Structure 1
Amino acid sequence: MKEFFQLLKQGNKSALMAAVVNAVVSLVKGTTYIFTGNVAMFAETLHSLGDAANQLFVFTGSALSRKRPTKRFPKGFGRVVNLVLLGAVIVVGIMAYETIKEGVSHIFHPTESTGFLINLIVLLGCTALESTVLLKAMREIIHETGAEAKGLAIFPVALKNLKQAKAATKLVFMEDTVATGGGLLAALAVVISHFTTFHQAEGIASILIGLMMFIVVGEVFLDNAGGAIGKSDEGMHLQVGQRIMTDPDVRDIQILTVIKEGDTFHVDAEVELDSALTLAEIDDIRNRIEDDLLQIDNISDVMITFDEEDSVMDWEYGDGR
């Protein structure tokens, strides 16, 4: 149990903050829906509730993925975060379905909700809270990818570097982007429904929010399904290959595999050397290359093997062939 709490301290802070904020927001929205019967508020309640559950799972998964390897699991627990995220998207998918279902029902059977002012205040207030989580996630992306940005430049820079961020941070960013946009959309629907007779606006907003949630489900599923199986990372593959080729004793790279497991990378390379080198020299080269690669952020394991130079260049144009 002590180890578990120690691991929690290393969990993704953006996910923890998002879970707490969304839990509070879902409670406020749910209470408001009970008293007003607003369909757009219902959609936002389910959305925030799903996000809160998701992000709590993500925080726990990101912490457990840092557990050290054991005899039973010698490769470590890096893929735990991917498995947790795959489970988390199921929750979002269910919430998205219910949101769309309620929206369709409201379009065919529109009703006028009450409490216009309280609905608007709650939606805008909760959206402001969710935007703070989004800002935190954007800063985390910039920090994790080594980028630099300030002020209004944070959003485009974070979006540009999103694919290189940790899986947990990406999920928080995507969910709270949808949450912020969904909150504003729901607020607009409430205004339209109150000042016109077009009460179906709330149903349409509910459907659009549900569809945005499904987009998140698709993106997260595809990203983490590959991570759970163990996928190659092209960007890191190129970086590692170029770093190996800079070593003065390396003649070529026959095989290079860079597998992403959770938030870390495992490198396996077969390198060609001059056949005249002694075993002691080869051992020094191995240590030098491994130490150099381990200096790259998020690389946790390196395995280097050697073969004699065959005069055939396999590593061409930095493409890893």
Structure 2
Amino acid sequence: MREFLGLLKEGNKSALMATVMNAIIAIIKTIAFFITGNVAMFAETMHSIGDTANQFFVFIGSALSKKSPTEKFPNGFARLVNLVLLGAVLIVGILAYETIREGVRHIIEPSESDTWFWLNIGVLGVAGILEGVVLFKAMKEITSDMEGEQIKGLRVIPESFKNIGNAKPATKLVFLEDFVATSGAFIAVLSIIIATYTPFHSAEGYASVLIGIMLFFVVGRVFLDNAAGVLGVADKEMEKRIGELVFQETHVKDIQELMVLKEGDELHVELKVEFDPDMSIAKAAEVLDDIEKKVLRHKGVTDVIIESDKDDQIPHWKNKDVNK
């Protein structure tokens, strides 16, 4: 139990914050839906319930993935977070289906908006603000994982969109879900206003369908990313960075092999460099040790397997951005 509690401290903070916030939002929306019966509120209720369950499992998975290797599992548990996320998207997929089905039913049989206009607007408005806070927290976590300058202020927003592909799996899921949640709250509010003040009473049904489609987009994106993570995916961007770093060492003549394997939040590096044939064994060992220390300073890199060989005069490293 003590080990489990210790691992929880290592869990993804964005996922934990999102779990608590979405649980509160889900309770408020559920109460509002039972009072009003509004279909747009139903869509947002399903969304928040799914987000709460999802992000709770994501938090647990991200914590357990930090568990140290054991005799039975010598490669560790880094990919566990990918497995948990694959299971989590099933929940979102089911709720997305229910959201679309209810929206279609309302489009076919639209009903005039009820008398709970301000309750619906108030609940969705508050929910949108709270979900926006969680979204911004996820954006800050994405930019904090970037190497280089510290991103501050509103610059976090565009930079997080640019670097979402390099985000940790758990943080990426929180970002995508809360982006959809924040956008969904705005769409739901707009549909209620249209249905109340115009003859277009089926607007709430269309909003429900649109929110469901957005949820299916999250399902597809997260499923593909984490299916690759379970198999072990090469990180080409990190390979490029490490290649540039290795070539800063003047004794390195060429890179024969370089692979960066991404497992959960961890990066495993395998590297083989070429030296001058006349270099002494002692000097080569010193250079290899220095390269290993520099590579390990990169965020997420947990281990480096590095070898050397004599220069065969055949160029192997094909990255055009590195001129040796």
Establish whether TM, by shorter chain, passes 0.5: yes
Q: What is the CA–CA distance in structure 2 between the aligned matches of 1:99 and 1:240, rounded to whole Å?
A: 45
C-alpha displacement at 1:31, in angstroms?
Answer: 1.1
Letter in 2 for 1:138: M
Q: Does 1:300 align with 2:323?
A: no
Given the alignment of the two structures, is residue 55 of structure 1 paired with residue 58 of structure 2, yes or no?
Answer: no
> What SS does structure 2 have at the residue aligned with 1:145?
coil
1:29 aligns with 2:18: no
Q: Do residues 214 (structure 1) and 216 (structure 2) align?
A: yes
Matching residue of 1:272: 274
Q: Which runs of 5+ in 2 are unaligned?
A: none
C-alpha distance in structure 1 between counterparts of 2:318 and 2:32, whole Å:
62
SS of equivalent residue, structure 2 residue 145: helix
Deviation at 1:259, TM superposition (A): 0.6
Q: Which runs of 5 or more residues in structure 1 are unaligned?
A: none
Cα drift, residue 319 of structure 1: 6.6
Per the alignment, residue 82 of structure 1 pairs with 82
Do the aligned partners of 1:7 and 1:63 also contact (CA within 8 Å) in 2?
yes
**CA deviation map 1:36-87 (0-9, x unaligned):** 1100000000001101111111111111111112222222211111111111
SS at match of 2:125: helix
Find the counterpart in structure 1 of residue 254 from structure 2.
252
Shift of 1:180: 0.5
The SS at the match of 1:134 is: helix
Q: Which amino acid aligns with 1:112?
A: E
User: Which stretch of structure 1 is more off in the superposition, 181-190 or 107-116?
Assistant: 107-116
User: 1:238 maps to what in 2?
Assistant: 240
Write out per-residue CA displacement over residues 206-244 of structure 1, whole angstroms, 9 at most, x where no aligned residue.
000001111111111111111111111111001111212
Instruction: Give, in angstroms, the shift of residue 296 of structure 1.
Output: 1.2
Structure 1: distance between partners of 2:9 and 2:154: 31
1:113 to partner: Cα distance: 4.4
Q: Give percent identity, aligned residues only.
A: 52
Matches within 5 A, 1:126-145: 126-145=127-146
Displacement of 1:286: 2.5
Q: 2: distance between equivalents of 1:55 and 1:234?
A: 28
TM-score between both structures, scaled by the size of structure 2: 0.94
Residue 145 of structure 2 contacts residue 299 of structure 2 at CA under 8 Å; is this kept in 1?
A: no
TM alignment of 1:60-139, pairs within 5 A: 60-114=60-114, 115-139=116-140
Is the 8 Å Cα contact of residues 36 and 113 (structure 1) preserved in structure 2?
Answer: no
Partner of 2:194: 192
Aligned twin of 1:45: 45
Letter in 2 for 1:91: I
The letter of the residue matching 1:73 is F
CA RMSD of aligned residues (A): 1.6
Deviation at 1:181, TM superposition (A): 0.6
Which letter maps to 1:266?
Answer: H
Identify the range of structure 1 (147-156 vs 84-93) with the bigger mean alpha-carbon deviation: 147-156
Deviations 1:137-168 (A, max 9, x none): 11111111145444333211211121122111
TM-score (norm 1): 0.95
Q: Spell out, residue by residue over 1:272-299, the C-alpha distance to the aligned partner (whole angstroms, 9 max, x if none).
A: 1233334333332322221111011111
Question: How many Å separate the matches in 1 of 2:81 and 2:321?
Answer: 29
Alpha-carbon deviations, 1:175-218, whole Å to 9, x = none? 11110010011011111112223221110000000011111111
Match of 1:37, as an amino acid?
G
Distance 1:317 1:134, change over 3 A: closer
Tell me the distance in 2 between the aligned counterparts of 1:315 and 1:231: 20
1:317 shift after superposition = 4.1
Kept after mapping to 1: 8 A contact 2:240/2:319: no
Moved more, 285-294 or 170-179: 285-294
- Verify the 8 A CA contact 1:37 1:113 in the aligned structure 2: no
